[in-house]
């Protein structure tokens, strides 16, 4: 049987396909219950904080989390179902928009199947769980790619609105995506617009000058961001790692869609039922790899830590004004599971009576603490799972006391896991204050 009969790309059918894929992805994400990766729990902590406290848990680009909170309120979902369905929707929307940009004339059955294959492939599967802000920004950038004309005032309004929305969704990803947009608009768009008598393109060199100017500013900005430690001590490495991460995640499904659309245009055999069965088989294989367990945080250990901290505060062994410093992932998990607030940044500076969490402290080191550290108010608290809370005074002593040198490595590791105050955090704070100042996090 031949499926050569062309069907014009129907926005209603594409929307229905988007919703169907959203449901399928939500089912796959829910296969193993709660998510197990640290970034998901940071998102869930933001969602719970916005829903219950009316504030952000930490400094983030605000728009994705405000939209997620609105999504949860509209559909009346619990935290995890709301998060997973929201993430699945934006991945499905991004894949379909990307496919529609590549093929706007006609959509056959296999166009939809390639969308499902692109979304369910193992590389794309983790995108919503690890890069939700980037995914929301990606959707706004695709709308910009799709609607950009620069012929009317409405086009200009779409350009400005999508730019602002993408910018407030994720700063870093927006810079990369908007650069690609400018290059496309300044090269392919120039050739297309030269055929029309548009007021924007009367001067031939105007688009080229704009493109050259933008790229010059971008290169200068990257150099400044790196040298000014905008992303921390290893800013250039961070930016390089971000580009690689985006290429693996977003590049994987874009490549699948591009190859699929190219083959559907050039190979008529791919528009047949046997080809559809083959693509469906690939989707099934991808689905098998996506529903396999994904290694992430150790929830059993973190649950025991949550119980320990709740018990210490409930018995007033740790006062409410005494801060406990842990890694960002641990802090997010503790807040989402038990609503216990801990500190995960090196600012404000740890005081002598504050505590910091040391992990993998073996029995011999515990005995060392009991033997060498004698004080009226014990500067350490033993927890379950080879974990110890030590206060700021003891942390400083460990750095200089030779008798405690076996604990020095663990103490330095614990301090290094804290998040440094970066220029990027200041930018996120500005985003929150500009968009929703009343929801700024407590620091």
pLDDT in tens, 63-114: 999 999 999 999 999 999 999 999 999 999 999 999 999 988 888 889 999 9
Q: Is residue 441 part of a domain?
A: no
Residue 380 CB-density burial (10 A; 0-12 exposed, 13-18 middle, 19+ buried): buried
The candidate with the shortest Cα–Cα distance to 117, out of 17, 224, 237, is 17
Do 149 and 19 belong together in one domain?
yes
Instruction: Examine the fold and report which residue of 247, 262, 290 is the final residue of a domain before the chain moves on.
Output: 290
Q: Is residue 430 part of a domain?
A: no
Q: Which residues contact 144 (CB under 8 A, 6 or more apart)?
A: 158, 159, 162, 163, 166, 181
Q: Is residue 4 part of a domain?
A: no
Do 334 and 247 belong together in one domain?
no
Do 252 and 376 belong together in one domain?
no
Do 179 and 207 belong together in one domain?
yes
Instruction: Examine the fold and report which residue of 247, 265, 290 is the final residue of a domain before the chain moves on.
Output: 290
Q: How many domains does the chain have?
A: 2
Do 237 and 173 belong together in one domain?
yes
Do 258 and 303 belong together in one domain?
no
Do 135 and 228 belong together in one domain?
yes
**Cα 111 to the center of its chain, rounded Å:** 28
The candidate with the shortest Cα–Cα distance to 165, out of 85, 62, 294, 310, is 62
Rg (CA), the chain: 26
Q: Is residue 192 part of a domain?
A: yes
Q: Which residues contact 60 (CB under 8 A, 6 or more apart)?
A: 46, 133, 428, 432
Do 102 and 237 belong together in one domain?
yes
Do 233 and 357 belong together in one domain?
no
What's the domain range around 412? 299-341+347-417
What distance in Å separates the CA atoms of residue 204 and residue 31, rounded to the nearest whole number? 55
Q: Is residue 41 part of a domain?
A: yes
Do 154 and 109 belong together in one domain?
yes
Give per-residue pLDDT as tens, 223-270: 888 888 898 878 888 888 889 999 999 999 999 999 999 888 887 777
What's the maximum distance between 2 C-alpha atoms anywhere in the chain? 86
- Strand pairing of 387-391 and 355-358? antiparallel
Q: Is residue 435 part of a domain?
A: no
Q: Which segments of the chain have a pLDDT < 50?
A: 1-6, 197, 200-201
Q: Is residue 80 part of a domain?
A: yes
pLDDT of residue 79: 95
Q: What are the Cα distances from residue 311, in Å, to 122, 168, 318, 334, 340?
A: 41, 39, 9, 13, 11
Q: Is residue 101 part of a domain?
A: yes
Do 28 and 86 belong together in one domain?
yes
- Strand pairing of 380-383 and 324-325? unpaired
pLDDT of residue 3: 38
Instruction: Examine the fold and report which residue of 290, 314, 332 is the final residue of a domain before the chain moves on.
Output: 290
What distance in Å separates the CA atoms of residue 330 and residue 326, rounded to the nearest whole number? 6
Angle between helices 171-193 and 153-169 (to 10 degrees): 150
Do 237 and 382 belong together in one domain?
no
């Amino acid at each position: 049987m031949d499926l050569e009969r062309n069907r014009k790309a129907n926005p209603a059918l594409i929307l229905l396909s988007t919703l169907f894929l959203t449901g399928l992805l939500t089912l796959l994400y829910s296969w193993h219950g709660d998510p197990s990766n640290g970034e998901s729990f940071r998102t869930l902590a933001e969602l719970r904080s916005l829903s219950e406290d009316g504030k952000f848990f930490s400094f983030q680009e605000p728009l994705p989390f405000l939209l997620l909170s609105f999504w949860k309120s509209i559909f009346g979902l619990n935290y995890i179902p709301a998060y997973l369905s929201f993430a699945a929707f934006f991945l499905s929307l991004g894949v379909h928009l990307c496919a529609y940009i590549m093929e706007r004339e006609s959509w056959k059955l296999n166009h939809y199947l390639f969308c499902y294959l692109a979304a369910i492939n193992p590389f794309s599967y983790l995108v919503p769980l690890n890069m939700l802000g980037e995914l929301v920004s990606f959707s706004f950038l695709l709308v910009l790619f799709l609607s950009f004309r620069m012929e009317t005032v409405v086009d200009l309004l779409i350009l400005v609105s999508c730019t602002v929305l993408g910018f407030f969704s994720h700063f870093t990803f927006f810079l990369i995506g908007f650069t690609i947009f400018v290059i496309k608009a300044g090269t392919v768009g120039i050739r297309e617009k030269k055929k029309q008598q548009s007021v924007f393109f009367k001067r031939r060199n105007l688009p080229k000058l704009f493109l050259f100017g933008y790229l010059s500013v971008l290169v200068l900005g990257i150099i400044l961001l790196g040298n000014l430690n905008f992303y921390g001590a290893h800013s250039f490495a961070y930016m390089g790692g971000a580009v690689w991460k985006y290429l693996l995640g977003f590049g994987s499904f874009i490549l699948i869609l591009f190859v699929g659309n190219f083959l559907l245009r050039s190979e008529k055999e791919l528009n047949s039922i046997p080809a559809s069965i083959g693509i469906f088989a690939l989707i099934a294989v991808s689905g098998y790899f996506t529903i396999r367990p994904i290694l992430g945080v150790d929830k059993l250990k973190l649950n025991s830590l949550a119980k320990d901290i709740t018990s210490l505060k409930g018995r007033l062994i740790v006062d409410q004004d005494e801060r406990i410093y842990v890694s960002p992932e641990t802090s997010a998990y503790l807040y989402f599971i038990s609503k216990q607030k801990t500190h995960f940044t090196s600012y404000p500076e740890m005081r002598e009576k504050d505590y910091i969490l040391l992990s993998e402290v073996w029995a011999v080191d515990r005995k060392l603490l009991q033997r060498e550290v004698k004080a009226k108010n014990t500067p350490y608290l033993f927890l379950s799972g080879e974990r110890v809370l030590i206060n700021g005074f003891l942390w400083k002593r460990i750095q200089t006391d030779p008798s405690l040198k076996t604990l020095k490595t663990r103490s330095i590791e614990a301090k290094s896991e804290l998040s440094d105050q970066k220029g990027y955090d200041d930018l996120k704070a500005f985003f929150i204050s500009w968009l929703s100042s009343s929801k700024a996090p407590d620091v």
